[in-house]
Amino acid sequence: MSTTIQLGIMMFLQYAIWGAWYAVLSAYLESDLGFSGVQVGAIYSLFPLAMIIAPFIGGQLADRYFASERIIGVLQLAGGGMLLLAARTTDYANLMLVMFVYCLLYAPTLALTNSIAMANLDNSEKQFGRIRVWGTIGWIAAGLVLAAWRTAALSSPGLEVGGDLLVFAAVVSFIMGIHSFTLPHTPPRTEATSPWAFLESLKMLKDRNFAIFLVICFVVATELQFYYVLTAPFLVSPRIGISDASVSAWMTIGQAAEIFVMAFVLSWSLKRLGMRRTLAIGVLAWPIRYVIFSIGGPTWLLLASLSLHGFCYVFFFVAAFIHVDNVAPPDVRASAQSLIAIVTLGFGSFVGAHFSGRVQDFFTVGDTTDWAHVFLVPVAITVAAAIAFLLFFKEQHLSLTTESEV
């Protein structure tokens, strides 16, 4: 099996696990378990909290001690077990604990799969998008399979399983764990002299432009949670009327757009427009999407607006990971990937998960949520982020040295 195929399967499984539960967990927690918006936001904040800790687990071990593919294999197998336990847990406090342990196991694997892919590609800027697109396909496949399972269960009650989304994610996690041991061997870099790779990557913050880049990434990431946490409850609300059984399938529209943008547009944009303009387009797509959400109709326009997620996510987050790989010193690239992950998927998403849950509760009276006002909040914040990006970010490469180069 070629390296390209191995890496494609890796990305497919990695994001199928995430896609199986992340986008629709909020609807499950609210509808099936009866949790409040604040409780849902708190559970969603566990993943970004784990992302804050992840560099000290994944990036440090991969940059200094163990082969990346073996770390991923062990973490995914253990994670599958925790997902099965989470599917059987309905109490809020216990579910918080189980999901936190699971997130600690899964979070490091996101940066590590990026690192493995880039370490085994000849030209990451040109080839990474084509590999990463399989992750988006995996997310879509997970959403469609889950929707098909739930639809079949409507006519065959024997197929109903409590916490089906978590059980499905567990099965894929076990498969990913096994596949990880077949990935290209990616050992720690032998030329590294400092034992603390993550601390070395923090030296990148000495560059003012890179620091500005990370701050804007943080702000934009907080608003991503309005999409992940609130879109499913919004779609199944009486105002829109999408069924619980089909919501995961409808939400794959965003990932389908990701495939198109990542496979056919990202590389072209980076080559013709450059990194700065590509990132700017990504930021500007966010307020457009949330304005349509705030309007709330017609339904066809609302569902079509989900396709903007392709530009929102790919032109900003995927491009951001490529930017970091381009400017990071060679011996700390895995930890540099963890650094951008900790800012976006970590601190940004942690703040955003709590913030979005509280905004939802603030505009909810009884069982009715004023979704128009809920989504105007991220509109204002993402517009401000876009203006700040255009005013202050300059496209350039870092010229920093690590201790090993001094």
Q: Any idea where the domains of the chain sit in the sequence?
A: 3-395
C-alpha to C-alpha distance for 286 and 363, rounded to whole angstroms: 21
pLDDT digits (tens, 9 = 90+) for 55-111: 666 655 655 566 788 889 999 999 999 999 999 999 999 999 999 999 999 988 887
C-alpha to C-alpha distance for 203 and 133, rounded to whole angstroms: 31
C-beta atoms surrounding 380 within 10 Å: 12
**Token pair 């197929």: residue:** 159
Residue ranges of the chain with per-residue pLDDT less than 50? 191-195, 398-406
pLDDT of residue 399: 41
Ramachandran area for residue 315 (φ above 0: left; ψ -120 to 50: alpha; else beta): alpha
pLDDT of residue 395: 66
Amino acid at 286: W
C-alpha to C-alpha distance for 317 and 254, rounded to whole angstroms: 14
pLDDT of residue 406: 28
pLDDT of residue 195: 44
CATH superfamily, domain 3-395, is MFS general substrate transporter like domains (1.20.1250.20)
- Of 44, 6, 18, which Cα lies nearest the Cα of 349? 44
pLDDT of residue 206: 79
Q: 97 exposed, middle or buried (CB, 10 Å; 0-12, 13-18, 19+)?
A: middle
pLDDT of residue 314: 87
Cα separations in angstroms, 49 against 43, 254, 346 = 10, 25, 6
The helix/strand/coil state of 57 is: coil
pLDDT of residue 60: 56
Q: 233 exposed, middle or buried (CB, 10 Å; 0-12, 13-18, 19+)?
A: buried
What's the chain's Rg over C-alpha atoms?
20
